[in-house]
Amino acid sequence: MTRDGFRAEEIDTSRPHPARIYDYLLGGKDNYEVDRQAAERLASVAPEARIGVQANRAFMRRAVRHVVGSGVRQILDIGTGLPTSPNVHEIARETAPDVRVAYVDNDPIVKTHADALLGDSSATSIVLADLRDPRAVLDHPDVRRVIDFDEPVALLLVAILHFLSEADEPERVVATLRDALPAGSFLVLSHATGDFADRSGAQAVYNDATATMSLRNRAEVERFFDGFDLVEPGLAQVPFWRPDAPPPPRSAEIGFYGGVARKNG
């Protein structure tokens, strides 16, 4: 039994989970046959998928260094995924050892693995909650224990918003989170898109998964930054957001936008 009352045998292994598909594409071991089959289907219709998820992860690392380098000491990472080294708190603490991180995911398997990795700490928490209920995230005692909403926060929504459909009102969700953040806070966001190659086949792989995928174009992704000012270079394909290494092969096809923005007063 986990701390949240989930039994290991209740973890759904009959349908692919986004967190476990992503883990498999990243070369991780925390996945089941059903996830591996979905990930292989994804890679067959989107041949750059493995490179794309690595590039998304590399974007997240550069973005975290940027926001911590800008002085932020608290990170709210929603849709954190299965622990993947280096994790957000490890990256952040290379720059500033006092950074506090609240991790949030709606997948019990993510929480179980993260609990085992993080243990009890006053500087990190792992919370089982759903982005579609942003008030529940903001009010969760284990978020409040780590995050002080009177001080700037970096909100990470990295490769999660495409798991919200229009019916989930993703713009309202992001606006609710934005309104809880003080000036000087940051939004770090990446999002799947079909702007650079036809990704309808990749999207279809998620039809059987526990969350479906909504690809969005540049204008739709940019709308999530309402109320924030994008830092240079604005919204970019993830390998081209402040690169610190030559772009990986097939970068021009990578279907993830990434951007970092600051909330001004």
Q: Using CB under 6 A, list all residues that contact ligand SAM.
A: 18-19, 22, 56-57, 60, 78-81, 105-107, 110, 130-132, 158-160, 163, 211
CB of 85 to ligand SAM, least distance (A): 12
* Residue 155 near residue 263 (C-beta atoms within 8 A): no
- Which C-beta is closer to ligand SAM: that of 63 or that of 183? 63
CB of 196 to ligand SAM, least distance (A): 18
- Which C-beta is closer to ligand SAM: that of 158 or that of 261? 158
- Which C-beta is closer to ligand SAM: that of 109 or that of 265? 109
Question: At CB < 8 A and 24+ separation, what contacts does 252-255 make?
Answer: 252/196, 253/47, 253/48, 253/196, 253/197, 254/48, 254/51, 254/52, 254/55, 254/196, 255/46, 255/48, 255/52, 255/192, 255/193, 255/194, 255/195, 255/196, 255/197, 255/199, 255/202, 255/215
**Two structure tokens written together for 251:** 């970068």
Residues 6+ apart with CB under 8 A from 147: 74, 76, 100, 102, 153
- Which C-beta is closer to ligand SAM: that of 63 or that of 181? 63
CB of 119 to ligand SAM, least distance (A): 20
**Two structure tokens written together for 111:** 């929480």
Which class for 245: exposed (0-12), middle (13-18), buried (19 or more C-beta within 10 A)? Answer: exposed
- Which C-beta is closer to ligand SAM: that of 225 or that of 256? 256
**128 alpha carbon, distance to own chain's centre:** 14
**Two structure tokens written together for 110:** 């993510």
- Which C-beta is closer to ligand SAM: that of 138 or that of 211? 211
**Two structure tokens written together for 253:** 């096809």
Among 256, 158, 204, which residue's Cα sits nearest to residue 16?
204
CB of 132 to ligand SAM, least distance (A): 5
Q: Which residue is nearest to ligand SAM (CB)?
A: 81
CB of 65 to ligand SAM, least distance (A): 15
* Residue 160 near residue 192 (C-beta atoms within 8 A): no
CB of 87 to ligand SAM, least distance (A): 9
CB of 148 to ligand SAM, least distance (A): 22
- Which C-beta is closer to ligand SAM: that of 79 or that of 255? 79
DSSP type of residue 75: E
